[in-house]
Structure 1
Amino acid sequence: MPTSPDDATSSLFDPLGLDLLGRNLREEMNGRPRVPLDEVKPFPGAGLYALYYKGDLSVYKDLKGLDTPIYVGKASASDSSYGDPPNMTERKLFGRIRDHRNSIKQADNLDPTHFDVRFLNLDDIWIVLGERALLRAYSPVLWNTVMTGFGGNSPGRGRRNARSVWDSIHPGRKRAAPLLCNRNYSYAEMKKLISDGIDISLMEAGEERDKKLKEFRNRPAQIIWEEAQGSGPGPKPVLVFRENAFVEENSRFGFDLSSLEWKLADAPKQTTAEAAALDAAQA
């Protein structure tokens, strides 16, 4: 309770604040039934959804049996340039869930039976804000931030693309087959990153959790490789900062380095975990 006018001003109630919205959406989402991912039937509408892991991979053992999602996503209804109401008869939300189910099917060590899904139909006005609120409520949501690559589009042309953390932990998708190893993490470093991310997501909300999350985001990562700068068409030579990790990681995926132009660079470069995730998402 505010005890002075200054306290009252500093604690103004925001009915649309992300914290309150996140708490409401979290409670509403947790009240929805968890449906086995392989049993989801077509349904109309748009909104939010959350995937929950229930398989036996050791890297996710601390998430099994909990109501902490491994991925949060959204599907908006079709927009109209004239401001018309969205067509809520289209199966936008189901289509997004189906696409993710197909990605999971391609992974060598995953199966749709390893997952449940909850979904929440919403008006378009709440969908983007709602996704942000859920991500904040459960942060760091593993497959959204720590293990980028699951929900992204297929890599485009331009700069040389790297294998995402998701495709490094879950090889098998055809789209990842021609890619070099991850730019920033070895397999052992990825497992450590995942373990620490899960630990933080299971902490009680508060100052200590916020502190750990900030430290996690700012944790330095030693870059393994990057594409050399230059103009002109075609791929550029690859600069390698950590030779052992570069060779071992590409060997793990059967990538033939003899077909690649690469050379050792002088010293490892650093980035942060958050910057590495943003870089991967933008790529």
Structure 2
Amino acid sequence: MRLPHRLFLIVLAGLVWLVGSYPLQARPADVVVPNAHQSRPQAQQSDEPLQVVTKVFEPFVIKDGDDFKGFSIDLWTEIVRRMGRQYEFIEVETVDDQLAAVAQGKADVAIAGITMTSEREHSVDFSYPYFKAGLQIMTRRERSLPFVNLMTVIFNPAMLEIVGIFFLIMLIAAHAVWLVERRNNPDFPQTYWRGIWEALWWSAVTVTTVGYGDKTPSRLCGAHVGPILDVRRTVFDRPFYGRYHRLAHLATVG
């Protein structure tokens, strides 16, 4: 295998790794069970009802006479239906009472609007998250210059991260195309700086649009880079643009 093809495969592997390594965001959870060593064995190894400690926390837990309803209650009802188990609710006043009941083995499950914290995780286990609260803090708007707001957004670390990732993707794609096309395609000159400049232009218009058609790879390996960039744009542009619009909103509201 000739050297340009080897370099192309190395660069292409780096592009695929970069695209696939974008982190996902975590969400809060609010179902609590005992740690493994704290579980109530009699409830797990027999058919006796599970003891579920809860508190009123609308709209997740709503007291309706002697019954409970709400989002968390509906979810728990479906869980035990699939488990084929019976359960009993124990009502308490505070979240601390719920956590204490589970940690001390007096209850099997605590359910309501319970926020996951690192301190609480030392004594109980949380379920997977099923609701994102989306809490925000509002403050009085301060008067500021639009230019200052714009500069704040442009040099925000999150914005620099977005720009840096996009530029790195374009740079990797440009080198991959140039290494393959430089000997047989006049659109990508053999000299490094001129060739990379033309390849970077091609990768930029491919990443941001569908390409202008003024430069096209002629070899099979080079032609595969374009579809990879299109897949990256389809899968990953939404979170990137979402972060961009949130940052741009800061420039308008101050």
- The TM tier, using the shorter chain, reads under 0.3
Structure 1 or 2: larger helix share?
Answer: 2
**Relative contact order (C-alpha < 8 Å, sep 6+): which is higher?**
2
The alignment's TM-score, normalised by the length of structure 1, stands at 0.22
The alignment's TM-score, normalised by the length of structure 2, stands at 0.24
